[in-house]
Each structure stands twice: as structure tokens, then as C-alpha cells.
Amino acid sequence: MSILNNSRGQGSVEFVIITGIMLFVIMGMVVAMQIRISDAYQNQLYSAMEQLGSLVNVEVRLAYASSGDYAREFYLPDVISGYDYGIALYDKTEVVIRSNDVDYIIFLDTDVEGDLDKGRNLIIKQDGVITISQP
């Protein structure tokens, strides 16, 4: 009778060990999937920030390249890829886009006065000085 009880106890221990190992493997797979999803989200957000930065850079280059005075209105969306963001102009040559603790920085070719904001923006070149403001 003691041999029968011993094998039942051993079977229970083996079951617990195998269940623990399977749970550990499943948790590892869940963590790996979460990391992949997070990386895909970061790449999507970074790509959207890059497109927004390119839009601002193109507007500044158009103003800079124009001869004489220049004025144009352009629009920055309220969200990018479904996420809120902030945009600011620093030191007249840097545009910083921030969303979910991710920063994307664009260095402009020329000095730009004023500030950027979501929505409508007006870029003006007058007497060689480029200014961005909200109309």
C-alpha cells in the first residue's frame, strides 16, 4: 500500500512541476508578444512624427526659397496616429515633436521666429525673416 501512495505523491509532484514549466513558457510567450506589439507601436508613432516633421520642414524650405515676401497657411493635425502630441519651436532652428514620452527633433536650415501649434499655422517671410504664427 505504501508503494501505491508513493507513486500517487510522485505523480502529483510531477504534475505540479510540468504545470509550472508550461505556465512559465506561456508567460514568456506573452511577454515576447507584448514586446513586439510595443515595438510596432513605437515604429508607427515614430513614422507619423517623421511625416509631421517633414511637413513643417517643407513649409519652412518653401518660405526660405521664395523670392520676395511669402505667406502661406498650413494645417497640423490634432492627433497623429490616434495619439495626442505636442509641437514646439526651440532656438529658432529646432522643431520638437513629443508624444507618449517619445521625442522627434528636426533641425531647420534657417532661423524661424514664432511658434507652432496644432491646427492652422501661418508662415510668413517678410524682409527675409520667416515667422510662424497662428492666424
pLDDT at 6: 59
Measured at the alpha carbon of residue 79, what is the angle toward residues 99 and 134, in degrees to the nearest 5? 100
Predicted confidence (pLDDT) per residue in 25-81, tens digit: 999 999 999 999 888 888 889 999 999 999 999 999 999 999 889 999 999 999 998
Please check the confidence at residue 11 and state whether its pLDDT lies above 80. no
| Between residues 9 and 108, the one the model is more confident about | 108
- pTM of this prediction? 0.74
Helices (H), 66-121: none
The residue ranges of every structural domain in the chain are 2-133
